């Protein structure tokens, strides 16, 4: 395979897919079931069909492009990633994994013809939790781990109900809660690192050993809105004041706990959010991650106690909504070994590492043998229009994925 051609195709296809949801403020905003999301999924469906793959949506909008196997039609190898983005996200998070799987399968088909087992390229409906307070919607549906009750009352920050947005996009809740299909034999996801380790250590490939666990919260503080000029400081129930103390303490606790724990407050809203009114309500989110479940539980238990104590001290109400609780997940050592071996055979410089970000792979790993491969992110930047991976690294990752899919589907 010509490396330059692979680099060119990868960049061109990323730019092509990135046009769906291109944000005037930079990067991509392609949120679940938005107009941009619908356009991207249908464009991919056409792309898959044009290259002789069999495209198909499931009930909730996950897209599959199948290259059918010749000898074991009841065995399927899957690869891909999520098509949704964060607001003002980059051109690589998620969509690189879809484009990489597409190019890997394209070249495998051209060089080796039909595989022994099916290969499904998957454009997963949603992973980020950016529009609705519910992450991994796509992969959870794929493994039958979603209950209708979990989303029936969920709304986005504009008040749009989850089910209404889904139906408007042309999809619906699954009619069955069955688990994964019996033909699934392996899942491999190629992704940008979203951190700076590979770049710093000058490694073009990261082979993931396990994915960190994480907990996400939405915290709502109820105080009392009042006149900014006539309400003395000592009589206020200022939701912003209470929230600011909580946010400071969350970060302080995170620094004191030490690596690899990370704690982040990423979204803050105030009501009525105007210059001359004491805020009566504050809403903010918390994201906590670690490689060990016990550490996550220990930290968040102490954090929740602090939040309640602070609310009491400030005379405000508090609602603590834990809406994501994901355990750390190990990768399948059999597939990891295959990736290591083919990297060694092809003189690819790699690093064994853990993933500090959550990925769809962690949803699949408990049900089917799963693995992840990383390529470097410039300056470790992600979830940002400045997100970037060198074309040579994009191509290197696709080659590693191609060799891995060959071992899984053609041998």
For 205, what's the count of Cα atoms within 13 Å in the CB-facing half-sphere? 23
Bridge partner residues of 383 (DSSP): none
Does 112 share its domain with 166?
yes
Compute CA 206 distance to the chain's CA centroid, rounded to the nearest angstrom.
Answer: 18
Residue 391 and residue 3 in contact, taking contact as beta carbons nearer than 8 Å:
no
Which residues in the chain land under pLDDT 50?
none
Query: What's CA 234's distance to the chain center, in Å?
Result: 44
Alpha-carbon distances, residue 19 vs 123, 170, 331 (angstroms):
16, 21, 33
The 10 Å CB-count burial string (b at 16+, else e) for 215-232 is bbbbbbbbbbbbeeeebe
If asked whether residues 67 and 142 sit together in one domain, one would say yes
Same domain, 79 and 33: yes
Please state, as a whole number, how many other Cβ atoms lie within 10 Å of the Cβ of residue 158: 7
Q: Do residue 166 and residue 273 come from a single domain? A: no
Distance of CA 276 to the CA centre of its chain: 39
Verify that 31 and 158 share a domain, yes or no: yes
| Same domain, residue pair 359 and 282 | no
Query: How far apart (Å, rounded) are the C-alpha atoms in residues 53 and 123?
Result: 13
Same domain for 284 and 332?
Answer: no
- Max Cα distance, the chain (Å): 79
pLDDT the model gives residue 216: 95
Q: What is the pLDDT of residue 179?
A: 79
Does residue 76 share a domain with residue 188?
yes
CA nearest to 275, candidates 227, 338, 307: 227
Sign for the CA dihedral angle at 105, 107, 108, 113 comes to positive
Task: At 177, list the tokens.
Answer: 């809660």
Take residue 33 and report the two structure tokens written for it.
Answer: 């079931």
Q: 239 and 333 in one domain?
A: no
The b-or-e profile of 319-330 (16+ CB within 10 A means b, else e) is eeeebbebebbe
- Which burial class, exposed, middle or buried, applies to 262 when counting CB atoms under 10 A from its CB (0-12, 13-18, 19+)? middle
Return the pLDDT at 295.
96
pLDDT tens-place string over residues 235-261? 999 999 999 999 999 999 999 999 889
Q: Please identify, among 325, 350, 367, the residue that sits at the C-terminal boundary of a domain.
A: 325
Considering the domain architecture, whether residues 243 and 364 belong to the same structural domain is answered as no
List the CATH number of the domain containing 98: 3.40.630.10
For the stretch 265-313, pLDDT in tens is 999 999 999 999 999 999 999 999 998 999 999 999 999 999 999 999 9
State the pLDDT at residue 231.
97
Total domains present in the chain: 2
- Among 107, 108, 106, 125, residue whose Cα is nearest residue 116: 108
Which sign, positive or negative, has the C-alpha torsion 8, 5, 120, 192?
negative
Of 274, 304, 325, the residue at which a domain comes to its end is 325
CA-nearest of 204, 186, 203, 38 to 123 is: 38
181 with 143, same domain: the answer is yes
pTM for this model (two decimals): 0.81
Residue 268's domain is classified under what CATH number?
3.30.70.360
Q: Is 200 in the same domain as 348?
A: yes
Going by C-beta distance under 8 Å and a sequence separation of 6 or more, which residues neighbour residue 358?
127, 135, 136, 211, 212, 214, 289, 326
Smallest CA-to-CA distance from 193 within 176, 211, 179 is with 211
Model pLDDT, residue 299? 98
Domain ranges, residue 266:
214-325
pLDDT of residue 345: 96
Other CB atoms within a 10 A radius of the CB of residue 333 amount to 12
Of the three residues 325, 355, 386, the one that is the final residue of a domain is 325
């Amino acid at each position: 395979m010509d490396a330059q051609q692979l680099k060119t195709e990868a960049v061109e296809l990323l730019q092509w897919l990135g046009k769906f949801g291109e944000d005037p403020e930079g990067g991509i905003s392609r949120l679940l079931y938005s107009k941009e999301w619908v356009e991207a999924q249908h464009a991919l469906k056409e792309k898959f069909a044009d290259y002789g793959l069999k495209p198909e949506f499931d009930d909730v909008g996950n897209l599959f492009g199948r290259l059918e196997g010749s000898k074991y039609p009841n065995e399927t190898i899957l690869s891909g990633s999520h098509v949704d983005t964060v607001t003002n996200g980059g051109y690589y998070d998620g969509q690189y994994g879809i484009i990489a799987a597409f190019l890997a399968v394209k070249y495998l088909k051209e060089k080796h013809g039909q595989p022994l087992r099916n290969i499904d390229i998957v454009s997963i409906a949603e992973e980020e939790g950016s529009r609705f307070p519910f992450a991994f919607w796509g992969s959870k549906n794929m493994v039958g781990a979603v209950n209708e009750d979990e989303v029936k009352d969920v709304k986005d920050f504009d008040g749009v109900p989850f089910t209404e947005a889904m139906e408007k996009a042309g999809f619906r809740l699954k009619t069955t809660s069955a688990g994964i299909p019996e033909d699934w034999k392996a899942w491999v996801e190629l992704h940008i690192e979203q951190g700076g380790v590979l770049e710093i250590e000058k490694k073009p490939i990261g082979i993931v050993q396990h994915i960190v666990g994480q907990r996400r919260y939405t915290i709502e503080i109820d105080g009392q809105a009042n006149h900014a000029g006539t309400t003395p400081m000592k009589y206020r129930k200022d939701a912003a004041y209470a929230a600011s103390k909580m946010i400071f303490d969350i970060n302080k606790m995170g620094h004191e706990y030490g690596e690899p724990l990370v704690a982040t407050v990423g979204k803050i809203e105030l009501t009525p959010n105007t210059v001359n009114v004491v805020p009566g309500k504050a809403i903010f989110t918390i994201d906590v991650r670690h490689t060990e479940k016990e550490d996550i539980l220990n930290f968040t238990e102490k954090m929740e106690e602090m939040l309640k104590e602070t609310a009491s001290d400030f005379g405000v109400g508090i609602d603590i909504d834990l809406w994501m609780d994901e355990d750390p997940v190990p990768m399948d050592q059999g597939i990891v070994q295959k990736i290591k071996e083919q990297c060694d055979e092809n003189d690819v410089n790699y690093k064994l590492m853990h993933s500090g970000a959550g990925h769809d792979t962690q949803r699949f790993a408990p049900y089917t043998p799963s693995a992840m491969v990383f390529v470097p992110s410039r300056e470790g930047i992600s979830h940002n229009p400045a997100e970037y991976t060198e074309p040579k690294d994009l191509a290197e990752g696709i080659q590693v994925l191609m060799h891995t899919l060959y071992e899984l589907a053609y041998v």
